[in-house]
Amino acid sequence: MQNVIEIRNMTKHYPVGTGKFTALEDINLQFGKGEFAGLVGPSGSGKTTLLNIVGTLDNQSEGEVAVLGNDIRILSSRQAADMRSEHIGFIFQTYNLLPHYTVFENVEFPLILLKYPAKKRSDLVMEVLEMVGLTDKVKSKPAKLSGGQCQRVAIARAMVKKPAILLADEPTANLDVDNSHNILQLMVKMNKEMNTSFIFSTHDEKVIRYLRRKINLLDGKVASDTEQLNNDA
Amino acid sequence: MMLKLALKNFFGAGLRTWLNILVLSIAFVAIIWLQGIFVSFSSRAFDAMIAEEIGGGYIQHKEYDPYDPTSLEETFAPLCEILLDIQNREKATAMLIYPAIAYPAGRMHNVTLRGIKPEQTILELPTEKMAADLGVVPVMIGSRMSRSTSLSEGDRFMIRWRDRRGALDAKEFEVAAVMSLENQSVDSGQIWMPLSDLQKMLQTDNAATIMVLSTEFDGQSVMGRIADDWILKTQYDLTEDLRSLIAMADIEYYVFYIIFLLLALISIFDTQILALFRRRKEMGTLMSLGMTRHQLIGLFTFEGGLYALFALLLGAVYGTPILIWTARNGFPLPEGMDMDSFGIPGITDTIYPDYRFSSIFSTIILSVIIVVIVSYLPARRIARLKPTDALRGKWS
């Protein structure tokens, strides 16, 4: 399997007062194309930090991280932004939708950044909204949507540009059981149809059941990295 | 994309946006109105001074000092042929200036007599009214002089002066006209009379203190051909004091300008600062979607610029009729207020603001630039913002 992310001997420190706190230590991981993997562990284990680093939102302190063959440490701020814009989608626990935009405009936004023509944007937005089942909400503002609907908009926004990598940080933390399953089934479907690599950060058992690969993080270190064959995916 | 996003955020802020726009628009209209008044002050002051006092400049007796009345008894000389010639060609008019004491209603007033030809056309004064045959010497005074001496048209009064041999002489005069003058310096303490009568009183045929030149005549053309007793004072030389005065008034204008603009800018600065703190998570989201820091700075600056744009539009809607109305109808000075007390000539009882396209345009451009800078300054902080901190609602 072709690797989209390669992490070698990666460590991340944060300055704390005059000392430093080690959030991640000696991480070695590879993620292949089309993976459906999860970083699992308690709060403070380094899941979100790792997700931010592979999402080029943050930099490692030591070691090497290559995303789609690019060493993220040498990427300029602009190049990192371009990488996120073209190849990486994000889903957040709190949805992070643009409040003044409609559902259609929220989903369209990444395509505007990519300077797609209007017709192509419209077609792609409607296609992805069809997949997440929100074609009847195109003109609604986020404030008028339920939590599950907001998260589906966030998924549509992340997937509309057909990214190589989708990073989801606790995507079901604010959702009830039914909505969580609906969202996860939607993501499994998209993973299969678009061959996008999904990487989750979670400690939610509902999510873990769906993962094909489970990476346990404990105190900033990889405690285990296992394939899961019998799951709902 | 930036425009659409900025507009969405701009109008999405609701009432706060409209309050800021209203405050900024009031500041813009007030600045333009104030500027109209100051332009009016300066232009009317110059116009009045040129029309009623200095014309195109003076060829004056070299010792003449308008600020030293005691010297006036010595600072005149007979006009040479060349000066008489330019007067005959209506390129200049002679004026003899002499100190005296007037006794209207038995009270004593130090005055300056100004002898000028009744038929002159160089200064915009109704001197032809002094051509009337009243049986005594006809004189004219300004309305301020009329008020201070209680003299009215038709009133007779005594003037006493010292002739060239030092002997005191006196004569009765009649007010032929009370002039409405804009320029205080040719009004207060000034009595205008026919040049020939003043020359007779002083027994100085053809003598004058100054030659007031026509605005079309170049005084330099005769200099060098006339006696050394005479020097040229150009219009520029003679308006030097007024220009200094207007420069002082300009400083006052800029103080008001800064106060008005500051009031508006504080509200924008405050809004921008609040937005930066309140919208950190949104910034983080936009960064995660692929926006660069520079694009974000541009977005926030652009949103600030929109305040200026919409304030201009709103200000144009209600400000244009207000400004046009004030320009046409003016507004009267408050009762008892006299602009002379500020040393500003040209303003009588009503102020007519003078709005000029160039000054309105430059004011608008300058104000918009300042608004954009004020919007940009807080937005610069975004350059130091880490996406991960922004997503957590923190500043780096």
Percent of chain A with pLDDT over 90: 75
* Cβ–Cβ under 8 Å, residues A96 and B281: yes
- Tell me the pLDDT tens digit for each residue of A106-150: 999 999 999 999 999 999 999 999 988 999 999 999 999 999 999
Distance CA B322, CA B259 (A): 21
Q: Summarize pLDDT for A28-84 with one digit per residue, the tens.
A: 999 999 999 999 999 889 999 999 999 999 999 999 999 999 999 999 989 999 999
Minimal Cα distance from B289: which residue of A?
A85
User: Which of A109, A159, A166 is the best substitution to test chain B (most B C-beta atoms within 10 A)?
Assistant: A109
Q: Say what the pLDDT of residue A228 is.
A: 81
Per-residue pLDDT at A232: 55
In this complex, the residue of B12, B287, B388 whose CB is nearest that of residue A100 is: B12
Contact B285 A52 (CB under 8 A): no
Asked if B288 and A84 come within 8 Å (Cβ–Cβ), the reply is yes
pLDDT in tens, chain B (396 residues): 777 888 888 887 788 888 888 988 888 898 888 888 888 878 888 888 899 999 999 999 999 998 888 888 889 999 999 999 999 999 999 999 999 999 998 889 999 999 999 999 999 999 999 988 878 899 999 998 999 999 999 999 999 998 877 888 999 999 999 998 888 889 989 999 999 999 999 888 889 999 999 999 998 888 888 888 899 999 999 999 888 888 887 787 788 878 877 877 787 787 778 777 788 888 899 999 999 988 889 988 888 888 889 999 999 999 999 999 998 988 776 665 555 555 555 555 677 888 888 878 887 888 888 888 888 888 888 777 888 888 887 766
Q: Do A101 and B8 touch (CB under 8 A)?
A: yes
How far apart are the CA of A231 and the nearest CA of chain B, in angstroms? Answer: 30
Asked if residues B182 and B52 have their Cβ atoms less than 8 Å apart, the reply is yes
ipTM for the predicted complex comes to 0.91
Residue B348: predicted pLDDT: 59
Asked if pLDDT for residue A160 goes beyond 90, the answer is yes
- Tell me whether residue A215 is exposed, middle or buried, using C-beta atoms within 10 angstroms of its C-beta: 0 to 12, 13 to 18, 19 or more: buried
What would the DSSP string read from start to end of A50-91?
Answer: HHHHHTTSS--SEEEEEETTEEGGG--HHHHHHHHHHHEEEE
Going by C-beta distance under 8 Å and a sequence separation of 6 or more, which residues neighbour residue A129?
Answer: A103, A104, A107, A135, A137, A138, A156
At residue A1 the predicted structure's pLDDT band, cuts being 50, 70 and 90, is: low
Interface with A, mutate which of B16, B288, B291, B382 (most A CBs under 10 A): B288
The helix (H) or strand (E) run that includes residue B196 is helix B195-202
Question: In this predicted structure, what is the pLDDT of residue B243?
Answer: 85
pLDDT of residue B342: 56
Please check whether residue B214 is in contact with residue B91, taking contact to mean a CB–CB distance below 8 angstroms. yes
Q: In angstroms, what separates the C-alpha of A156 from chain B's closest C-alpha?
A: 13
Determine the pLDDT at residue A17: 86
Per-residue confidence (pLDDT) for residue B272, from 0 to 100: 75
Sorted by where each begins, the domain ranges of chain A are 3-227
Percent of chain A with pLDDT over 70: 97
Instruction: Tell me the nearest-neighbour CA distance from B296 into chain A, angstroms.
Output: 12
In this prediction, what percent of chain B has a pLDDT beyond 70?
Answer: 95
Phi, psi dihedrals of residue B252, rounded to the nearest 5°: -60, -40
Residue (of A135, A140, A120, A232) closest to A186 by Cα position: A232
Predicted local confidence at residue B356, as pLDDT: 83
Q: Would the CB atoms of A98 and B387 count as touching at under 8 Å? A: no
CATH topology of domain A3-227: Rossmann fold (3.40.50)
Specify the pLDDT at position B100. 94
**Cα–Cα dist B381/A80, whole Å:** 19
Structural tokens at position A66? 């290559």
Q: Contact at 8 Å (CB) between B182 and B345?
A: yes
Per-residue three-class SS string for A85-122: HHHEEEECCCCCCCCCCCHHHHHHHHHHHCCCCHHHHH
Residue A104 with chain B: CB contacts under 8 Å: none
